[in-house]
Structure 1
Amino acid sequence: MIKQALLGEFLHEAESTRKLLKAIPDSALDWKPSDINWTTAQLASHISEVYNWFEGTFNQDVFDMGTYTYDKGDVSKAENIVAKFEENVAKAQKVIENSDESTYFNEWKMEMNGNSLFPPMPKVQVIRSFLYNHLYHHRGELVVYLRSTGNKVPGLYGPTADDKF
């Protein structure tokens, strides 16, 4: 039952993420709001990468960021970021579909070089916060990036000011 709820939300929200990533023009990829922020390309790539974390979150009780590697690919074109998203979201969907609900309340922790980065918590809490809510947070940032560069924003939870009524 929990799996079906997680999968339903995942599929619905992945479509919103897809729409948002597809709205990024190449001309906005190098823009960033300040020197300390990511560029649009880096932020969009990070959003795509979060889907790569589903395997380590659903299927492991310890996610070791010290050994984690990820090939972002070529982020110089928006279509490449979308392609990486599609690759990662397909893998993430399979992870959810094949997950064992009986492990959802196992203690989960993230470590780096043997040091705990977060207090241990039930895996299902990590799924909702580290995976799902984390994505939503960064999508909100990306909406601001698109608006700040004069680009249209697709409706994620209903129409936006760019939509005709």
Structure 2
Amino acid sequence: MDTLKSLLQEMEQEAQTTEKMLSRIPDDKYQWKPHPKSMTIEQLSTHIAELPTWVSLTLHTDGLDFATVPYEPKKVSGTAELMKLFEDSLADGYSNLQKADVSTFDKIWTLRNGEQILNQRSKADVIRMTYCQIVHHRAQLGVYLRLLDIPIPGSYGPSADEQGF
């Protein structure tokens, strides 16, 4: 399978699981967090919902400098807004990936904070890293939901909740 087709397929598959997880968040839990050093559910879930736009960012730039473009997280007031944010982010990332010039996939993309280089990888690797970030933060969200006794959807098969355990 070629790289572009593989990346598109993986984006679709992970989006289905991400959508199931995000949709479980109760509207009254967005300010909850399991520990003082943890993000709130709102911070974590909006970060997850925005991550598909990193595919577009990667394809259309040579990098990101947090010193000149500080991250400003989106605010949502509930799950309906969160799902819309995710849907829009996914559509943006997917449509840009569909039109991607695969000859640029080997070009280096740099994440930095001023002079400090945080990460440097090929554009294809950054797209894969974006997917890994979605999965990583989705797992964090699963822990949050479990601590709130909210049933967890399956990711790559049925969850214990779906099996009745």
Q: What TM-score, normalized by structure 2, do the two folds share?
A: 0.90
- Displacement, 1:72? 4.6
Superimposed CA distance per residue, residues 81-129 of structure 1 (whole angstroms, 9 cap, x where no aligned partner): 11111111100001110111111111111123343222x2222122112
Q: CA RMSD in A?
A: 1.7
Report what 1:6 is aligned to.
7
Q: Distance in 1 between matches of 2:72 and 2:85?
A: 9
Q: Distance in 2 between matches of 1:98 and 1:68?
A: 25
- Displacement, 1:23? 1.0
Q: Distance in 1 between matches of 2:7 and 2:22?
A: 22
**Alignment of 1:28 onto 2:11:** no
**Structure 2 counterpart SS, 1:34:** coil
- Aligned CA distance change for structure 1 residues 59 and 139 (closer, same or farther; 3 Å): same
Structure 1 stretch displaced more, 60-69 or 140-149: 60-69
Q: Distance in 2 between matches of 1:18 and 1:111?
A: 30
Question: What amino acid is the match of 2:144?
Answer: Y
**Structure 1 counterpart SS, 2:51:** helix
List runs of 5+ in structure 2 lacking aligned partners: none
- Displacement, 1:64? 2.6
- Displacement, 1:13? 0.6
- Equivalent pairs, count: 163
Alpha-carbon contact 1:58-1:99 (below 8 Å) kept = yes
Report what 1:66 is aligned to.
67
Q: Hey, which bits of structure 1, 4+ residues long, moved more than 4 A?
A: 69-73
- Displacement, 1:63? 2.1
Report what 1:137 is aligned to.
136
- Aligned CA distance change for structure 1 residues 96 and 103 (closer, same or farther; 3 Å): same
List runs of 5+ in structure 1 lacking aligned partners: none
Question: What amino acid is the match of 2:135?
Answer: Y
Alpha-carbon contact 1:73-1:80 (below 8 Å) kept = no
Percent sequence identity is 34
**Structure 2 counterpart SS, 1:53:** helix
Superimposed CA distance per residue, residues 31-64 of structure 1 (whole angstroms, 9 cap, x where no aligned partner): 1110010111110011012122222212222223
Q: What TM-score, normalized by structure 1, do the two folds share?
A: 0.90
Alpha-carbon contact 1:48-1:84 (below 8 Å) kept = yes
Report what 2:128 is aligned to.
128
Report what 2:77 is aligned to.
76
Q: Distance in 2 between matches of 1:86 and 1:155?
A: 20
Structure 1 stretch displaced more, 48-57 or 65-74: 65-74
